[in-house]
Amino acid sequence: MELTWRKRLWKLGDTLFHKMTFAEAATFNVLRLYAGDIPAVPLYENQGFIGLSIKQADWNTIKHDITRPYPLKDNSVDFYQAEDVLEHIPYEALPAVLAEVYRILKPGARMRISVPDYRCDVYANRCQRDSAGNIVFDPDGGGWYRDGKLGGGAHLWFPLWENVKALTDQSPFTKVEFYHYYDENGNSVTRPIDYTLGYVDRTPDHDKRVQDPYRALSIVVDLIK
């Protein structure tokens, strides 16, 4: 009995202290990557997502800066999700980020992106602006703004449909599907999203702030290889 109890403890310890690696992840039959720390949503655990965090590594998270290349083979990843993370990366660095994700995705696989839409009143009304009315800082997005500079994990750019589309247009992806966003005239567009592929929390389907009236909160787009 004592040996069985100890074996259980050792197994629990292996799970708690095990750190996922790209080499191990590459052996999975289905590989789904999530940019950032994986939220506590059953879908991610049930579908075996592997997180990519700049802060930590654990049993289902690899410590990795997504602006750097992945030690993975071409055409090896089944799905990639970037949820509320790209706005924390300098805009000029993002073409290379998308190109690298394209490289590792399998043909026909997709990258799901969601970023805050700064035409939505929830975001637009809380931001600091300059004398010309341009957004310079989102205080609820984290980080700091001092002497005209952003840092500490702040949102480094403020997504609109146009600047996200510009990124997708110059990416190597062959098909792009926008689901939620505000167009250039400020009209909310909300097309159905298949959440079984990748859950997105900040949408009117899950966030009460934009359910009455039902309107977009995030820019949600799939890029398909």
pLDDT reported for residue 42: 78
pTM: 0.90
Predicted local confidence at residue 7, as pLDDT:
46
pLDDT at 215: 98
User: What pLDDT was estimated at residue 16?
Assistant: 59
Q: Residue 4: what pLDDT?
A: 56
pLDDT at residue 6, rounded to an integer: 46
pLDDT at 154: 97
Residues of the chain with pLDDT under 50: 1-3, 5-7, 9-13
Could you please report the per-residue DSSP string of the chain?
-HHHHHHHHHHHHHHHH----HHHHTT-SS-EEEEBSPPS-HHHHHTTEEEEESS--BTTEEE--TTS--SS-TT-EEEEEEES-GGGS-GGGHHHHHHHHHHHEEEEEEEEEEEE-TTSHHHHTT-EE-TTS-EEE-GGGSSEEETTEEESS--SS---HHHHHHHHHHSS-SEEEEEEEE-TTS-EEE----TTT---SSSTTT-GGGBTTB---EEEEEEE-
d(CA 185, CA 71) in angstroms, rounded, equals 42
Query: What domains are defined for the chain?
Result: 2-224 (3.40.50)
Question: Residue 225 has what pLDDT?
Answer: 98
- Pairwise CA distance, residues 210 & 206, whole Å: 9
